[in-house]
A and B are shown apart, each in its own frame.
Chain A
Amino acid sequence: MDKKLKLEIYRKMLLSRRLEERIAELIKAGQAGGFMHPGVGQEALQVAAIAALRPDDYLLYAHRGVAYWVARGIPIEKILCDLAGKEGGTNHGKGGVMRVVYPQLGVLGESGTLGGCFPIAAGAGLSIRVKGEDKVVLCFFGDGTSNRGTFHEALNLCAVRKLPVVFLCENNGWAVSTPTEKSTAVKDIAMRAAGYNVPGKTVDGNDPEAVYDAVKEAVDRARQGNGPSLLEGKTYRLWGHWVGDPEDYRSREEVEKHWRSDPLPRFEEKLAGEKILTEKIKAEFEAEAMATIDRAVEFSRSQPHPKPESALDDVFA
């Protein structure tokens, strides 16, 4: 990973973190509804993986936070408009912040039911193959979601048809209140790759370089027509499942322990040590993130609500 890319990943991780923080403030102040599942702690995995894509590749993000969209380059003001259910976003109030969509950058949307993503990813891979393109599909999902039956069907289909799909599990140790070891028979989700005869790899999901390298390798493989891969990044959900989650199912000690491997300061220190990130650049990134978010919040406030009768639009093409 070159210096420029490292800084870009750091900048987007920081912007995502600040945006999550602002969104949580807005929700707590009753200024935003939405159905937001914060991704704090998982930004390294999300941003670094998406950095391995080309702009014309397809992306199916998961429900965990904003960093996927920030990483892909979806304008922040659009995300906030979707959160507020306003015009000016990506889905005209139809789907809220959980259905941010951006066809220009291959962002296909989100399944409200977990596991709906897998067959859709396979289908996008099928389309790439049939059209003879060299695009790739990146499909994110949580460890809990990997227990849906659709996971099995889609992986097998992708494997037998050699479809260009990279499945990337964000293993954050929890699915709402259920710890992964209570719901999932394997220690590493990537072990399941053996069942589909595809490459499987587990990496430290809080290390952007490890994530980037693994995803890049799998993306290149898929692009060359060698079929799907199953990757997994180990990470941790530092905040609640939703904003306002009482979190009485896990101990403070556990959470505090994981704050010590928060990927943001960790990457910051690494880049500072490599003399890539200076105090000056850091301050610039902070200021830029705040200014971008302030502008986006203002923009979303200025946008109108959708017209009530527009609820009837968009059913059929």
Chain B
Amino acid sequence: MRKITYAEAIREALIEEMRRDPSVILYGEDVANFGGIFRVSAGLKDMFGDERVFDSPISENALVGGGVGAALTGLRPVVELQFADFLFTAGDEVVLKAGMWRYGHGGAYAIPLVVRCPSGATGVGPEHGQCPEAFFMHAPGLKIVSPSNPADAKGLLKSAIRDNNPVLYFEHKLLYATRGEVPEGEDVLVPLGKAAIAREGDDLTLVAISAMVPKALKAAKRLAAEGHSVEVIDPRSLVPFDRETIIESVKKTGKIVVAEESYKTLGVGAEIGAMLMEQALEYLDRPLRRVAIPDVPIPTAAVLEAFVLPNEEKIYQACRELLA
């Protein structure tokens, strides 16, 4: 199968969905002329014209809120924020409008909105490097996806655009250049709410999110060389969340580690822990371990950033501890 990058996969999904459905539009800061600051939407303005692909002012509230208004009235907007952190800048529009408009009005409207959120720490400090998925998992009414590879990046974005609900689509900046096999075909979708088993195993369940998945796979490989069989699960969607796949895995392994590039307290790992307490306590024979950022903002200097960020070694050590 052909291999393309994660960024190309996103671009391809945008092109296919815009061709397929004239109600899909794309806007955000520098997305049109420049093709996005990460150049993911390069060329789309020339393909679809300025009415459907345009550069916006630096106005995050109007970007996301405008997306809600356009979605209420029949468009399927894809809004790009330059950094996932700016979800907080547009907090009212994200949490209270996109998340609650439909519900508060008794289901009168659907909100088919996608917000593209480039995430991940790249040495640029506290306000440009977060993976803030968990903050928004707490907010009702928002779907959340975090693809870890090019095929999922494409398939999940297509599903998100076709979905009738607001979807926060987290694209990890350090994954943009990674290559992988991506099936061709306009209707190859990856469903929202279905986890992937990235590697099968029997001794320990390792759940990893977004850019943590390749790191988890490397850790699992090292552990395999030492005789441990680790199952790596990539949830792909955080809302809706595929609990089944994780519970089934834990039934088999009895041990679980969760690796995420976010703050530990009330992170994705905390939710998984609570879910297992409620639904699978009897299958756990060791305590849950979370590999996450200690509860501090992400510092800028490389040595500090490396200290707080989860990495392959930290994941490996957490697994080793449970496997001992």
A: residues with CB less than 8 A from B are 33, 35, 85-86, 93-96, 98-99, 111-115, 144-145, 147-149, 175-178, 182-184, 248-249, 305-306, 308-312, 315
- Complex-state Cα separation, A221 to B242, whole angstroms: 61
Interface residue ranges of B14-63 to A (CB < 8 Å): 29-30, 33-34, 37, 55-62
Using A308-B306, A312-B294 as known contacts, list a sample of 18 further A-B pairs with CB atoms less than 8 Å apart, ordered by residue number in A. A35-B125, A35-B128, A35-B300, A93-B299, A94-B126, A96-B123, A98-B125, A99-B125, A112-B126, A113-B88, A144-B57, A148-B60, A175-B29, A178-B30, A308-B304, A308-B307, A312-B308, A315-B297
Contact A85 B303 (CB under 8 A): yes
Mark interface residues in B70-86 (1 if CB within 8 Å of A CB, else 0): 00000000000000011
Within the complex, which residue of A95, A114, A249 is in contact with B126, where a contact is CB–CB below 8 Å?
A95
Across the interface, do A94 and B301 meet the contact criterion of CB distance under 8 Å? Answer: yes
Inside 8 A of A113's CB, which chain B residues have their CB?
85-86, 88-89, 127
* Residues of B close to A182: CB separation below 8 A: 55
Could you write out 14 A-B pairs with CB less than 8 Å apart? A33-B123, A35-B123, A35-B125, A94-B301, A147-B57, A148-B58, A148-B59, A176-B30, A177-B30, A305-B303, A306-B301, A306-B303, A308-B307, A311-B308
Contacting residue for A177 out of B55, B57, B61, B296, CB 8 A? B55
Determine whether the beta carbon of A176 is less than 8 Å from that of B29.
yes
Q: Is A183 a contact partner of B57 (Cβ separation < 8 A)?
A: yes
Residues of A within 8 A of B61 (CB): 149
3 closest cross-chain pairs (CB), A and B: A112-B127, A85-B301, A93-B301
B304 touches A177 (CB 8 A): no
Q: State whether the Cβ of B295 lies closer than 8 Å to any Cβ in chain A.
A: yes
* Measured CA separation A35–B128 after assembly (Å): 11
> Which residues B264-316 have CB closer than 8 A to chain A?
294-297, 299-308
Question: B86 to chain A: which residues have CB within 8 Å?
Answer: 113
Taking CB atoms, residues of chain B closer than 8 Å to A311 are: 294, 296, 299, 304-305, 307-308
Also in contact, A177 and B33, with CB within 8 A (given A112-B127, A308-B303)? yes
Picked from B58, B126, B300, the residue with its CB within 8 Å of the CB of A175 is: B58
Query: Which of B56, B124, B125 has the most CB atoms of chain A within a 10 A radius of its CB?
Result: B125
Report the minimal beta-carbon distance from B118 to chain A, rounded to whole angstroms.
Answer: 14
Smallest CB separation, B92 vs chain A (Å):
10
Residues of B within 8 A of A310 (CB): 304
Please give, as numbers and ranges, the residues of chain B lying within 8 Å of A111 by CB-CB distance: 127
A96, A115, A177, A178: the one within 8 Å of B125 (CB): A96
Given the complex of chains A and B, what is the CA–CA distance between A182 and B128 in angstroms?
25
A112-B127, A113-B127, A176-B34 are known contacts. Are A95 and B55 too (CB-CB below 8 A)?
A: no
Question: Whole-angstrom distance from the CB of A169 to the nearest CB of chain B?
Answer: 13
Q: How far is the CA of A112 from the CA of B88 in the complex (A)?
A: 12
Q: Determine the chain B residues whose CB is within 8 A of the CB of A85 once the complex forms.
A: 300-304
A315 touches B295 (CB 8 A): yes
Contact with A along B121-141 (1 / 0, CB 8 A): 001111110000000000000
Instruction: Give the complex CA separation of A37 and B286 in angstroms.
Output: 49
From B305, which residue of chain A is reached at the shortest CB distance?
A311
Closest B residue to A176 using CB positions? B30
- The CA of A111 and the CA of B304, in the complex, are separated in Å by 20
Which residues of B sit under 8 angstroms from A176, Cβ to Cβ?
29-30, 34, 37
Chain B neighbourhood of A184, CB < 8 A: 57
CB distance from A69 to the nearest CB of B (A): 16
- Chain B residues whose C-beta falls within 8 Å of the C-beta of A115 in the assembled complex: 58, 89
Docked complex Cα distance between A85 and B125 (Å): 11
Cα–Cα, bound, A147→B302 (Å): 33
Given the known interface contacts A113-B127, A177-B33, the answer about A96 and B300 at a Cβ–Cβ threshold of 8 Å is yes
| Other-chain contact of A249, B33, B127, B307 (Cβ < 8 Å) | B33
Interchain nearest-CB distance for B94 vs A (Å): 14
Interface contact A94-B299, CB-CB below 8 Å: yes
Complex-state Cα separation, A90 to B312, whole angstroms: 32
Q: Which residues from B are CB-within-8-Å of A305?
A: 301, 303
Complex Cα spacing A96 to B61, Å: 27
B47 shortest CB reach to chain A, Å: 18
Provide the residues of chain A in CB contact with B59, threshold 8 Å: 147-149
- Expressed in whole angstroms, the Cα–Cα distance for A149 and B29 within the complex equals 15
| Complex contacts, B62 vs chain A, CB 8 Å | 149
CB distance from B7 to the nearest CB of A (A): 16
Alpha-carbon separation in the docked complex, A35 to B34 (Å): 19
Chain B residues in 8 Å Cβ range of A144: 57-58
A35-B124, A85-B301 known; A177+B58 contact, CB < 8 A? no
Could you tell me the distance between the alpha carbons of A310 and B296 in the complex, rounded to whole angstroms?
A: 11
Provided the pairs A93-B300, A96-B301, A177-B34 are in contact, do residues A114 and B307 lie with their beta carbons within 8 angstroms?
Answer: no
